[in-house]
Amino acid sequence: MTGSLAIPTDGGRCEAVRAAWRKYTDDVEEKFDEEIAHVTPDQVKSETAKEILLRRLAQYQRTKPKAVAVGAPIAQFAAKDE
């Protein structure tokens, strides 16, 4: 990843950022699970497909243009700590 990110130092704000990030990742994984279930009922294939999709998402996050590199879950908190 490139760019900078303000890390909150207040305990409550840290917890809010962590909770927002957890919700985002849970939502992404839930959506992947729903979409994969339409393709295959096989559990092993489903887990493999999800691993591939999560890896591709991480690769996309590292290569997308800098102007949109900060994800929404973190961006809403970073500006308040600057």
Q: Where are the domains of the chain?
A: 11-81
Position 9 pLDDT exceeds 90: no
Using the structure block, give the residue that is written with the tokens 């409550």: 12
With the CA atoms of 69, 71, 72 and 75 taken in that order, what torsion angle do they form, in degrees rounded to the nearest 10?
-70
**Residue 41 buriedness (CB in 10 A; 0-12 / 13-18 / 19+):** exposed
* pTM assigned to the model: 0.59
Asked if 23 and 15 count as a contact pair (C-beta separation under 8 A), the reply is no
Position 77 pLDDT exceeds 50: no
Residue 80 has which token pair?
A: 């308040």
User: What per-residue confidence (pLDDT) applies to 32?
Assistant: 92
| Mean pLDDT of the residues in the chain | 77
User: What per-residue confidence (pLDDT) applies to 68?
Assistant: 46
Closest CA to 75 of 30, 26, 24: 24
